[in-house]
Each structure stands twice: as structure tokens, then as C-alpha cells.
Structure 1
């Protein structure tokens, strides 16, 4: 079933217990709480279900009739593969020795059967995420939130609905948006909802490789094709056969490489580097860019005919500063994602913290917000998420005076943030970061949660606009 805009985050609970009465009690409580319970009562069930990373919480019985592995062995596997996952041990006997062993083994709680509903409900409240997030779509079939597209804004809804319509087809899609807005996430969701979902999803970062390496990585090479080619190497096109190939940051390729790529996309065949055999593939192409691709075409830096080949449909993801209504939803999504890792139960977000997070321009977009919430979860304490717990994070966000209702940075006027456009707020945050790092672009980019290349492009634009003096 394809989730709709009214769907909520699916909470997944695994019950490893062959006792049908206990399993039924837990399933009934989970159903009342809107969570999905799955029972593993045999060796096959345990083996197949335990490998999935989708569980928010696991109930594990100490007595495992009809299951070969012991509870201790299963617990050790869980702790090894998913160390942050909370595990509740269930036992038919009230044994202090068993309880101590379970807690030492990494269990969060030890419950004695028969289970008391109030106790189970308290555990669910402590360990399961809130279910009132507005999830527009899932990038994973389990709907766990790891790849959830969350938001309530009309612009994001329109983008997701267009993606939903085009997903089952083979139409090439170009996804445009700033760094950190979630372009790859949307591409993965399009693949997961296509008829190719069972086949490979292969990604390549075009910005990270020069022409020679990019050609070798995409098309592969024969043994001995060049120095260091000690074996045959299948390229990403071959590996994506029958599936989807994502060309990430496609606008960073050179015109020479674009010509080669255009021919391959037209014919869907190619030769490996150093080879003579024609290799035919059936691949759906998705691509992303954080640049203004139409401007690149006008400047002669991107081929117009390649654009037409890639952009059967062009989707645009707005930067986070243009959709502040989605920020509270994203905050809670990340709180739930990092709760197992940090062992914290957050019941509310401090009002001043929420206001600052909602007004901050987020140059690094969702990626920067995610890293900020993770820092607050790891370094803070208590059940309220607040910047007061972590002054260093507040300083990064506030900068030299950026704050709701405070004077702007990098501008001698006394305008406060309410008087500025969102683009001016972004500029303010970037200039403040450069000021705090004494112009060190690497450190500034890291503090902002954006790539060095993105920061360089913004600095270049500010210099052209006269907002930043060149030191070159």
C-alpha cells in the first residue's frame, strides 16, 4: 500500500516469544497504541525477521520453546548488529539472577509474566516514537521513518504527489534542490515505488570524480585498460541493469563527458574502457543537481540535448528556509531516530528552542537540522529538548547575534530577523559562520552542515552581489 499524506509514522515492534497467550496480549496492546506487532515463534521467523533494521522495539522471551537458539544468543546478536535497539526481556519466573543477567546483557527492562498492560503501555510510551508525524511517503518499504519524507507544506506535498505519479513508469526524472534538501531520498523512494524496486538502485556522485574516473566507474573497464587495471571491472550501468541508476550532481560533469553520456543514454549500450564488446543495458535514469541547470545551459556549461534526455520530469525540492512549517515535523522525526542511540525519551521541545530552530535559515537544509538535533540528543539531558543544555550548538546557530528579533549579522543596519527575507537570513548565517571561523571555509562549511563546494558557490555569488569583499 502506498502511504498517503494522512499516514503516520509506522511503529514496528518484534515479539520473539513462542507463547501464544503472551504474544496475543502484546499484539492487543500494540493495536490500541497504533503500533504494528510482528511475532517470531520459530527458528525461521527469528532468522528472517531479526535481520531487518526496521524494529523500534523488541520483546524477547527468556524461555524459547520450539526455538533452537537461546535467548542469550539472540540477545547477543541484537546487541552486535543493532546496539541501540531497546530490548525488553520477558520471563515466566521471577528470578533475580535472570533479571541481572538480562540487564547486564543489554536489555532495557525485565518483565515477569503474566504481563500487566499498564507496565507494557508505559514501556511503549518510553520507547516508541510519536505517531502524529505527517508522513508524505516512505523511502523504505517498512515505513519506519529511516527514509520517511515528512512535512505538511503544500509545496512538498505537490512534489511528492508528482513523484508518486511518475514512479511506476520508466520516465527519467531530474531532481533539483540545494544541498541537503533530500534529493537522494526522493530518488530512492521513486525507485522503491517503481516496477524495478526488486532490482538494484545504484548511485554515483558525479561531482567527486574527474572525467577518466567517472567514465571507468560508469562504463567499467577491461583488465589492462590502464595502469592499475589489474582485473575486469563492471561499471555502474552494468550493475544497475534492470534497475535504477542515480546520477548525483550531474551538472558538475564536463561538456566532453556529457557528450559521451548522451550517446549512451540514447542507445543504452556502451563499451567498457579498453574494450571492444558492445554491452546493452536496461536502466532507468534518475539525476540530481543543486545548481540552476537552465542557467548552466544558457552559459554553455551543460548540454541542452542532455537536459532533455534527463528531464522527462523535473522535480524541485524547496530549501528548508522556504518551508518552515515542516521544521517541527522534522525535529520530531529526528528525535525518534536518535532516541535509541542516545537512550533519551523526549516528551516536548522547549518553546524558545523551537522558535529559534524554526526561524534559522538552515543553509545546510535538512541535513544540517538532522545533525543539530542529533547533537542536542547526545549532549543534552532530560525529557525536554532544549538548546540551553548545549551552549555550543546555540552559539553555532545564533552566531554573532542571529536570533529571533535580534540585529542581523554582517549588516550595519539595525534590521531584525523579522525584517529580512529568507535569502537574507541564509546570507546572514553564512557570513556569521565565516566571521566566527576567521574566513576558514572548511570549518565554516562544517559548522553550517553544507559541502565546501556549496559554500564556495554561495561566496562567489555574494562577492558578485557586493556583499562580501574578495581577499584574493
Structure 2
């Protein structure tokens, strides 16, 4: 049984709605939007039949959406049906564009009311079934990898689920080893390009002199050694997805060409004049701050904005330790199949060391440690002897496990002392150089890149050290 709220003053319309609700629906009536909103707060309704003239009088200088917004805030699932005289259908269509589900014409006819309600119910049902099937398909396909207890990772997967079916450019950011490549493939598998090519390119692993040729191809004779025409990755990936890992390392010339692809959807081979279409979705990834690089002139600002359409930041493993058990289980299943073993668990001392370790290499480091241990292990449980000694350095010399979080080891104390000294030094040099990274790096005797990493490590912002305007 559907419940209906109407905001209307027409006796004929109220009479028609009253007759309609005798078929199994309930009816509540209000004469003003304020009264209707108050009634909706007290009692949930499935449908809101809104008189167009009242809706128009309530929105002088405002859009229909602004008038309807409070009703959706109170009841997000309420479906709005506009009641309009035939001569005002154009305005009713504007209301539908503003979010109303449909409209019916005066004088209200029982068959038209039934058709409107049935059509909306059918549409809502179909949408819910579609959402269910999408969720089911997603969960079945990536159930293992997408399991998480981390709130941060739940947000990441929610964003990926939203952006995957679209054509939008995605920028994945996060430390090395956090799983950016895996997520890029996940996006491709759940896009409408899943049956086409997925081309992955590690931009930092290709020499600068060859990167442009790898991405865009070259013509015969374009340079010494170009003995034949070679298609680039953008040409090979037509209709599919191209994943540009470590995008922050590409050369200025490659940045110009990539910007052309994003702006115009075209590119040219090296030594060629013919423009080629690029029907490719671009997913890029970096462990650097492209925003800071663009501000310092090391990365094109316009290219950064083109790549940063839909940014997704992956948290490091040390910030999602609640997922350690799930990740270990996933990797052990894979290793057992790879090495034909039956390892069923991990020793508690190893799990304690995992909890205390800093994981600078993130998930990739965890996977490598477990692979090494599986190769060495001869029992059904991964013992501490199968792992590097460095993993247990933090726990050495602590007899009582309860003391681990209460009193630091000598190594921890030294580490904290060094960290405090480094942070104070960085703050002082940034203050002296008025927040300018290049000058601060030169004064510190290290490269700009190294200085950037230290600033990011200690959560410092160069803006905090610049003089006030």
C-alpha cells in the first residue's frame, strides 16, 4: 500500500486523489509547502503530489529544486509528482528536470493517476534491482581484494565503484606499494572498456629518451635507429585503458603531448604529421605531490588539473593495520597454490611484529615477506625463523608484552630523537628561506626531491612558513 501526501487547494483534485486512495493507498493533504513539510516530518510518505501553481508561488527567484530540496532532506525516498493544467506543461517539465519524477494534468483522471504511480513504482524497482546486480557482480569479482575493515579503504572502494563505469580520468595517489596498480586494473575491469586492452606503463622505468616513443610511437627514420614505424601505447590501447604509473617522472615534452591527448583526444607519432585519434581512458598514479610539483614549476599546472579530475588517495598500510589479517590470509592462499604448500597460519609472535612494524614498503613489502617465509617454511605455520631479524627489532628486549606500547625500546627512543631533530631542523630552514623549497633544499645540502619527501614525512606545509601578505 502506497502512502500519498498532496499539497493542493483544488477541491476537484483532492476529490480525485481521495477516490484514487480508496484502491489501497492512504492520503494526507496540506494547503501550503510549510504545512506539507511538517506533515512529512511526522509521517513518512511514498509520493508527494505537488500542485504546480503552489510550487511556482513558493519559488519566486528560486529554482524548483530549492523548493523541493527540504522535502528530500526530510524523506530522501519520496517521489514527487507535479499536478499541472495543460497550458502549463512547459513549467511542469522544468519541475521534472529539477528532480520531480513525473507530472499529471488537470483534471485528474483515475487511469492517469494509476499509470503515474505504477510507472514510478516500476522505475524504482528496476533501479533497485540494477543496483543490486551491480553490487553483486562487483562483490563476486573482487570479493577477496576488496575485503576491508579500514574506514579509509571503504571510502576508496566506494569511490572506485562510482567512477569505474564512467569515462572520467582518474588519479591514484599514495605511497609506493599501496596497491595503485591493483586498483587501476579493478577500475578497468568494471568499466565499459573491460573487453578492450589494459596497457600499464611504468613511466619512471623507461629512459627519458625513449618514453615519448613508447607512449606515442614513431615513424620510420624519425631518429637514428628508427628503422620502421612503431605504434605507441596510446595507439595499441585504442578503445581500452592506459595506466601511467609514476606520472610525475615524465619529461616536459611528453607532458605537452599528454596534455594534447587529454584536451583534444589526438596525438602524433614522433616524426609524423598525421593526427591520430586517442580513444583511451587514462588512469595515472604517483607517490609524489603533483600539486606541489606544479606550483614549483616541475610539472605542468594545466596537465595536473586535467589528470586530477577524480583523485583517489590510498592510505599506507600502517594506517590500516586492521586489514593485516585479511591481507595475510589472501596472500597465503595465493602462495599455497603457487608453491604447492598447506600453510594454515602465522605464529603469534610474527603477528605481533607485524602490528609494531612501520611497513615503509606497504602491501608490496608484506607480500614479499610472506613469499620469502613460505619458501623457507617447512611446517604448517609460518614461524619467526622464516622472517628477517629486522622485523623483530622493535620487540627485542621486551619481556612483558604489555610493556610494548608503554615503554619504548632503545631503537625506538633513538628513532624518535632523530625524528624530532630532523623536524626542528626542517622548520628552522623553512623559516629562514620563507617557505621556498628549492632554497631550503640548497641550504640543507640535499636535492629538492629529498627535501620534498622529508617535508611530506613530517606533515609540514611550506605555506605556513611564508610571510603573511
Question: 1: distance between equivalents of 2:395 and 2:352?
Answer: 15
Alignment partner of 1:277 is 2:274: yes
2:159 counterpart (156, 159, 162): 162
1:292 Cα deviation after fit: 1.8
Preserved CA contact (<8 Å) 2:353 2:395: no
By how many angstroms is 1:270 displaced? 1.5
Please say if 1:179 is aligned against 2:173: no
Find the aligned partners of 1:458 and 1:156 in 2 and give their Cα distance. Answer: 29
Tell me the secondary structure at the aligned position of residue 149 of structure 2. Answer: coil
Match of 1:395 in 2: 389
- Quote the residue 1:326 is aligned against: 323
DSSP-derived class of the 1:409 partner: helix
Distance change (3 Å), C-alpha of 1:460 and 1:158: closer
Shift of residue 397, structure 1, vs aligned partner: 1.4
What SS class does the counterpart of residue 306 from structure 1 fall into? helix
Q: Which residue of 2 aligns with 1:361?
A: 358
Return the offset for 1:410. 7.0
> Equivalents in 1 of 2:192, 2:259: separation in Å?
25
Any idea what the Cα deviations from partners look like across 1:417-442, whole Å, max 9, x if unmatched? xxx9xx99xx9xxxxxxxxxxxxxxx
C-alpha distance in 2 between matches for 1:325 and 1:143: 19
CA distance in 2, matches of 1:463, 1:181: 17
CA distance in 2, matches of 1:294, 1:459: 12
Q: Distance in 1 between matches of 2:151 and 2:158?
A: 10
2:285 counterpart of 1:260: no
Task: Tell me the CA shift for residue 140 of structure 1.
Answer: 11
| Structure 1 residue 224: Cα displacement | 1.7
Counterpart for residue 303 of structure 1: 300
User: Retained in 2: the 8 A contact 1:141–1:192?
Assistant: no
Hey, what does 2:414 align to over in structure 1?
Answer: 412
Q: What CA distance in whole angstroms lies between the structure 2 residues aligned with 1:311 and 1:190?
A: 16
2-structure distance, mates of 1:210, 1:366? 27
Q: Aligned ranges for residues 203-242 of structure 1 at < 5 Å?
A: 203-242=200-239
Larger relative contact order (Cα-Cα within 8 Å, sequence gap ≥ 6):
1
**2: distance between equivalents of 1:318 and 1:246?**
20
CA shift, 1:408, in A, is 4.8
Aligned to 2:290: 293
Picking from 309, 333, 343, the partner of 1:312 is 309
Structure number with greater Rg is 2
Paired with 1:270 and 1:413, the residues of 2 have a C-alpha distance of 50
With structure 1 as the length reference, what TM-score do the two structures score? 0.56
Write the distance in 2 (CA, Å) between the matches of 1:149 and 1:396.
30
* Gaps in structure 2 of 5+ consecutive residues: 1-134, 424-448, 459-469
- Compute the displacement of 1:209 (Å): 2.5
Change (3 A) 1:158 1:367: same
Question: Where does residue 379 of structure 1 map in the other structure?
Answer: 376
CA deviations over 1:56-107 (Å, ceiling 9, x no partner): xxxxxxxxxxxxxxxxxxxxxxxxxxxxxxxxxxxxxxxxxxxxxxxxxxxx
Separation of aligned partners in 2, 1:246 and 1:463: 25
Match of 2:414, SS state, is coil
Unaligned runs of 5+ in 1: 1-135, 428-455, 466-472
Q: Distance in 2 between matches of 1:459 and 1:305?
A: 21
Compute the RMSD of aligned alpha carbons.
Answer: 3.2
Whole-Å separation in 2 of the counterparts to 1:464 and 1:330 = 25
TM-score by length of 2: 0.56
How big is each residue's C-alpha offset from its partner over 1:261-308, in whole Å with a ceiling of 9 and x where there is no partner? 212221111111111211112111110000122222222212221111
**Partner residue of 2:150 out of 150, 153, 167:** 153
1-structure distance, mates of 2:161, 2:456: 40
User: Structure 2 vs 1, CA of residues 141 and 229 (structure 1 numbering), >3 Å: closer, same or farther?
Assistant: farther
